[in-house]
Amino acid sequence: MSKRPIVTLLTDFGTSDHFVASMKASILNIHQDVELIDITHDVPAHDIFAGAFTLRNAIDLFPRFTTHVAVVDPTVGSARRPILVMTDNFNFIGPDNGLFSYIYQSETVNRVIHITADYYFRNPVCPTFHGRDVFAPIAGYVAKGVDPRKMGEPVNDYVKFETPRPDTSNPKVLRGAVLHVDRFGNCFTNFTKEHISLAALRGGGKFVTVNPQDPTKNREIVKFVTHYAEAQPNELFALFSSTGHLEIAALKVPAARVLEARRGMEIQFHIP
């Protein structure tokens, strides 16, 4: 097979410093015939949740056997473990700090390995840059064909944070939250089609944003659309995003600014 293996990178390293290039060099140093794809390096510094969410949204369509390296690692060098997550489709490499929490839900996980095979690490390992000295080399060797199971022993006690799910205990008022605000100011919520039916959306259901500091700023969103251009300029509306999340958006203005919304803000769905 002549296809070049794919390795993706997601970090909070930004693109101004040498960090990302050093990681790529470290991979190429081990296996030059590889396709490197950036997912993003603009994860907010140390924001494991944001990294986990973006990783989950980005990976669906990558070819099978793609290796995903993710490094948002505020406790690099401490006792937190480096891990390799083998799923039906992909290998994931990064710190065991919850960064793969969404992956554990969306992928079929076959094995989680505590990476201990320091034979494959850069020598010496710098305790502040495992991205370059541990994760990248491991990705290089996996891309080169080394069996991931050689990287260490399986573990079951990997770190997994609870992904925020809507509170559906009150069937008339579902309580969800904003998970992510994208570059257009669209607000991705944790509601999916699992929680909200098209019937409810079209039969008088409405969203209400909850501003705890100033309830006068709470806003109702009554319009549901299937694509952006259905809405009127400046109008707030809801739609199902390309990731499956219910999204609150507005035409020509950033919805997040209109709503003063940030990650974690409560959004309710009222069923008539």
Binding site for a second copy (CB under 8 A): 2-4, 6, 8, 13-22, 24-26, 28-29, 32-33, 35-43, 45-46, 54, 57-63, 74-78, 80, 122, 126-129, 132-133, 180, 182-184, 226-230, 239, 241-243, 247, 252
Minimum CB separation of residue 114 from a second copy in Å reads 18
The two tokens of residue 163 are 């992904």
Beta bridge partners of 95: 82
Minimum CB separation of residue 120 from a second copy in Å reads 14
Minimum CB separation of residue 3 from a second copy in Å reads 5
What's the rounded Cα separation, in Å, for the pair 57 and 91? 16
Most distant pair of Cα atoms in the chain: their distance: 63
Minimum CB separation of residue 185 from a second copy in Å reads 9
Token match 């769905």: residue?
Answer: 269
65 vs 119, which CB is nearer to a second copy? 65
123 vs 156, which CB is nearer to a second copy? 123
15 vs 170, which CB is nearer to a second copy? 15
4 vs 217, which CB is nearer to a second copy? 4
Token match 């490094």: residue?
Answer: 71
Instruction: Give one DSSP letter per residue of 97-165, joined into a string.
Output: SSTTHHHHHHS-EEEEEEE--GGGS-SSPPTT-HIIIIIHHHHHHHHHT--GGGGEEE-S----PPPP-
